[in-house]
Amino acid sequence: MIFYSTTKASAPVTMKKATLEGLAPDGGLYVPSEMPRFSAEEISLLESGSFTNIAFAIAKKFVGDEIPLDRLSALIDDCFTFETPLHELDADTFVEELFHGPTLAFKDYGARFLARMTGFYAAEESRMITVLVATSGDTGSAVAYGFHGIPNTRVVLLYPSGKVSHLQEQQLTTAGDNVHALEVKGDFDDCQRLVKQAFVDQSLRQKLTLTSANSINISRLIPQSFYYAWAALQLRQHQSNALPTFSVPSGNYGNLTAGVMAKMMGFPIGGFIAASNANDSVTRYLDEGRFEPRPTIKTLTTAMDVGNPSNFARLLHFYEGDFRKMGVDIAGIAVSDAETVETIRAVHDRYGYIMDPHTAVGYRALEHFRDTRSGAGKPAVVLSTAHPVKFDEAIRTATGKEVPIPESMHDIMNKPKQATLIGNRYEDLAGFLGNLDR
């Protein structure tokens, strides 16, 4: 498969180049030159398949002959060693739990696949790739555990000292081996500034092959389409022919874009709800046809606090820049913090089920959709993007309950923290990077 940039100002590239580069040199995002299609026959054959069967079938169409099929299949088995359950709340409403990976959030899907693809291509080129990432939580931990132990790669992650939760800090600092955590005496903006400066430091870049692992990388996006296809096929086996709507708690809109790709590939999906918090530039676009990004507003659902979503350019590309076309598939609904807390409480009261705040935004948006946009009585899937234990304070406020730390996390909670404390000047970071081996 060939990929080209959304701005079309640079040359088309292979999957390898798109994966190792991340962003196109013209500043655009890579998109497939044409969307792979699954015939009705191929889809019925996949219906009884496992998650990894479906993942392999999709990945194969994008990767083509760039990776031998047995290697690709092994790579996928190695990525998805955990379950992707559909939790039934009632006959029409399902929660797809995307938080059973090693760092308890859906970002594990993208990060684990990206890490293994990067490792494969880096080995082919006999290169050592250094992933440099500034993080305030979820992305950094998924990247740390995603790349942990992958040959030909290493991670240097920067996080603000004292500004992440204990659980997050354990996830960021305990992987060890090829993962280096830098605890920066400063805030998240300092971390981001240092990373940006490293990317433009030509003398450093002559020494190290740097890459970022942010959500614009096509190899982070493709694996997120797997769980849409999986849920849609699961539902088809148990349900009528009505096509499900997916409600997607959104920040940078990578997750939603991957869903749109799954639908375009031919999987049985009705449409989507773009569920946002007060950072509603996309939901407003869907209503008004004008995209006016605004400064980021701080909310309870911090992972969705994005004023200018990076994947919006891809969404626009898929809908040919036409907000009416986009609106046929996607309904935009914004949810307030007060509604979010109230929803966690109400869902717990009604179903005895505890959802994290981001998931609650998705659930509340679905309720709204059913009340106002003729979505009543149709099947729907709310994507659950994080385990509630990651946001236990909000859960305590809403329900008065403690969320126990899942068994799978006990290991990480008991490992010793390994981090290097650095100052917030660029020399501090350059000094550390300069001492890494080539």
Ligand X SMILES: *Cc1c(COP(=O)(O)O)cnc(C)c1O
* Residues within the interface to ligand X (CB under 6 A): 105, 107, 138, 215, 249-255, 303-304, 358, 385-386
Helix 138-147 to helix 107-124 angle (10° resolution) is 40
Q: What is the DSSP letter of 362?
A: H
Closer to ligand X by CB, 92 or 337: give it. 337
CB atoms near residue 126 (< 10 Å): 7
Beta bridge partners of 247: 273, 382
Report which of 190, 196, 175 is spatially closest to residue 103, judged by C-alpha positions. 175
Closer to ligand X by CB, 216 or 235: give it. 216
Rounded CA separation 211/203 (Å): 15
Choose the catalytic residue: 107, 185, 298, 401: 107
Tokens of 12: 């088309």
Min dist. Cβ of residue 421 to ligand X (A): 26
Min dist. Cβ of residue 255 to ligand X (A): 4
Beta bridge partners of 210: 130
Min dist. Cβ of residue 312 to ligand X (A): 10
CA triplet 126, 132, 135: central angle to 5 degrees?
150
Residue 245, SS3?
Answer: strand
CB atoms near residue 141 (< 10 Å): 32
- Answer yes or no: are the C-beta atoms of 99 and 84 closer than 8 Å: no
Closer to ligand X by CB, 30 or 120: give it. 30
Min dist. Cβ of residue 309 to ligand X (A): 7
Cα dihedral 102→251→394→91 (10° resolution): -80
Closer to ligand X by CB, 186 or 388: give it. 388
Tokens 């003398």 belong to residue: 203
In terms of DSSP bridges, do strands 86-90 and 93-97 run parallel, antiparallel, or are they unpaired? antiparallel
Tokens 């300069």 belong to residue: 434
Min dist. Cβ of residue 115 to ligand X (A): 17
Report which of 14, 15, 10 is spatially closest to residue 26, judged by C-alpha positions. 10
In terms of DSSP bridges, do strands 153-160 and 245-249 run parallel, antiparallel, or are they unpaired? unpaired
Tokens of 185: 């005496």
Min dist. Cβ of residue 254 to ligand X (A): 4
Closer to ligand X by CB, 186 or 357: give it. 357
- Answer yes or no: are the C-beta atoms of 310 and 252 closer than 8 Å: yes
Report which of 59, 37, 63, 40 is spatially closest to residue 264, judged by C-alpha positions. 37
Closer to ligand X by CB, 236 or 390: give it. 390
Closer to ligand X by CB, 80 or 253: give it. 253
Min dist. Cβ of residue 98 to ligand X (A): 9
| C-alpha distance from residue 245 to each of 306, 329, 366, 435 (Å) | 24, 9, 9, 50
Q: Verify whether residue 415 is a known catalytic residue.
A: no
The catalytic residue positions are 107
